[in-house]
Amino acid sequence: MIKFIENEPFSPIQYTYEVDNILFKGRSSYQEILVLETPDFGKVLVLDNIVQLTQRDEFFYHEMLVHIAMHTHPCPKKIVVIGGGDGGAVREVLKHESVEKVYLAELDKQVIEVSKNLLKFVSQSLDNPKVEIHIGDGSEFIKGVKDIDVVIVDSTDAIGFARSLYSYDFFLHVKKALKDDGLFVTHSESLCFHRDVTIEIQETLKKVFSIVDLYSVPIATYPGNWWTFSIASMKYDPRKPQKAPVTGVRFYDSEVHKWCFLPKTLYQRIMNKELKW
């Protein structure tokens, strides 16, 4: 039995996976790419020795990344997904019948190719005619689009080389790309291990958007487990879904939408740095 030890440089712990087979190992222009077959988690996508998704629990992450914003907007039609070359976020977006166009901006073309070949459980929607794939820097792509209803960032860690996707300038360009009632969402690290990063992302978003909030979900795959998502809007309160849940989801529903947000008193204590651990 092969063992894979994750090397997450921003985490104080390391996960070890038992591996039945290495399905793919290669290096793109940007990163090392691994696809592992494991007995407990199914297929696992690893970028630069950091696990990005597992077949067993990826739906928790992708559903929660996508459906809070997509249900907060009453009729999302044009969507931008930045990162997410594996296809999981696009898969969830296309569960909304109102969607007419999805722009996927992925920096690393090889992630898409590997996912299409080996990770069909997430990549199944990448060939949908509603999807338009752009290979390149998402922070540049966003400058060239407009009248977008929802922008979703599905990047690698905010504390890694995807840092530009969490900057004040990037958030400004997102706001310009969105319609007046558009929404933005991104993952924002673990409150357990990266609380200060989460707070910084929230504070930066508040300089650009009038409505900013934080929600979370437990995800076993990611170190720290208590994984957060930052959502921003100029009109709609993300705590109040505007429509019934779409079909075909496994975890998300109306009750999950309500309880995933931090209680407002707890949120303020964290933001004010009154609660520390």
Task: Give the catalytic positions in this structure.
Answer: 154
Residues in the annotated binding site for S-methyl-5'-thioadenosine: 31, 106, 137-138
Look at the chain and report how many structural domains it folds into: 2
Residues in the annotated binding site: 31, 62, 86, 106, 137-138, 154-157
Host domain of residue 248: 58-271
Q: In this structure, is residue 181 part of a structural domain?
A: yes
Give me 42's structure tokens.
Answer: 């199914």
| Domain end (from 28, 54, 80) | 54
Identify whether residues 145 and 209 lie together within a single domain: yes
String of DSSP letters for 106-170:
ES-HHHHHHHHHH-HHHHTTTT-TTEEEEES-HHHHGGG--SEEEEEEE-S-TTTTTGGGGSHHH
Give the residue-averaged pLDDT of 26-31: 96
Identify whether residues 18 and 71 lie together within a single domain: no
Cβ atoms of 86 and 53 closer than 8 Å: yes
pLDDT at 11: 84
Phi, psi of 18 (to 5 degrees): -75, 135
Identify whether residues 69 and 115 lie together within a single domain: yes
pLDDT category, 161, cuts 50, 70, 90? low
Q: In this structure, is residue 277 part of a structural domain?
A: no
Identify whether residues 102 and 42 lie together within a single domain: no
Give the residue-averaged pLDDT of 111-123: 98
Give the residue-averaged pLDDT of 132-136: 98
pTM for the structure as a whole:
0.96
Q: Find the radius of gyration of the CA atoms of the chain.
A: 18
Residues in the annotated binding site for spermidine: 62, 86, 154-157
Instruction: List pLDDT tens digits, range 192-209.
Output: 999 999 999 999 999 999
Identify whether residues 32 and 81 lie together within a single domain: no
Q: How is residue 261 annotated by DSSP? A: B
Identify whether residues 92 and 214 lie together within a single domain: yes
Identify whether residues 126 and 202 lie together within a single domain: yes
pLDDT at 62: 98
Task: Report d(CA 194, CA 158) in Å as an integer.
Answer: 10
Q: In this structure, is residue 163 part of a structural domain?
A: yes
Measured in Å, how far apart are the chain's first and last C-alpha atoms?
Answer: 37
pLDDT category, 35, cuts 50, 70, 90? very high
What is residue 275's three-state secondary structure? coil
Give me 242's structure tokens.
Answer: 């505007």
Question: Do you know the residue count of the chain?
Answer: 277
Identify whether residues 101 and 196 lie together within a single domain: yes
